[in-house]
Amino acid sequence: MRVLGVDPGLTRCGVGVVEGVAGRQLTMLGVGVVRTPADAELGQRLVAVEQGIEQWLDEYRPEFVAVERVFSQHNVRTVMGTAQASAVTMLCAARRGIPVALHTPSEVKAAVTGSGRADKAQVGAMVTRLLRLSAPPKPADAADALALAICHIWRAPAQNRLQQAVALHTAKAPKGRTA
């Protein structure tokens, strides 16, 4: 499975591609950041994010895109930019028919470090170890993007089985009754 992980942001949008399957060694294929100038007009910044994501999709041809689920933050401007970059990423994937999965920050941290309360340094250290890198990717947005891809690879099989079980249960439920 090849996954493009995206840590959305309007100024720095972390991107990373990981290939592998759950339970086996994972391989990093690429990591980086799509940057936009903070003083540029919003529309131009969104176009720059789109162009950057499209380049990553063209180059790495992922089977899935994993995006960090946007949560409310204290700074409304920050959360708006994050949500806009996230939407651009999902749009780019949808145009190509690539499935998108959203993962919460605590879900990603728990998958990679074992603790949903891990800090950025712990996430970076585990990403470095899991992918056999010589140093943590910089900036932290890049490491977070790789962590998203790893999380998706490890969690996708269980999520798929759960969805199949729910669909089977729903299909077997008597008419007029749902579980």
Question: CA 28, 100, 6 angle in degrees (round to 5)?
Answer: 45
Query: Does a structural domain hold residue 179?
Result: no
Q: Does residue 178 belong to any structural domain of this protein?
A: no
Judged against a pLDDT cut of 60, whether residue 139 lies above it is answered with yes
CATH of the domain at 90: 3.30.420.10
The pTM for the full model equals 0.88
- Active site includes 54? no
58 in active site = no
Binding residues, by number, are 7, 68, 141
Instruction: Give the chain's domain count.
Output: 1
The 10 Å Cβ neighbour count of residue 152 is 29
96 falls within a domain: yes
59 domain residue, yes or no: yes
**Is residue 9 a part of any domain in this protein?**
yes
CA angle, 156 then 158 then 159, to 5°: 60
For 124, the token pair is 């970076």
1: three-class secondary structure by DSSP: coil
Residue set of the binding site for Mg(2+): 7, 68, 141
Q: What is the pLDDT of residue 175?
A: 67
Decide if 51 is inside a domain: yes
- Domain holding 32, by residue range, is 2-172
Query: Would you say residue 161 lies in a domain?
Result: yes
Active-site position among 58, 119, 141, 144: 141
pLDDT in tens, 72-115: 667 787 889 999 999 999 999 999 999 999 999 999 999 999 99
CB of 5 closer than 8 Å to CB of 145: yes
Active site residue 144: no
Residue 119 lies in a domain: yes
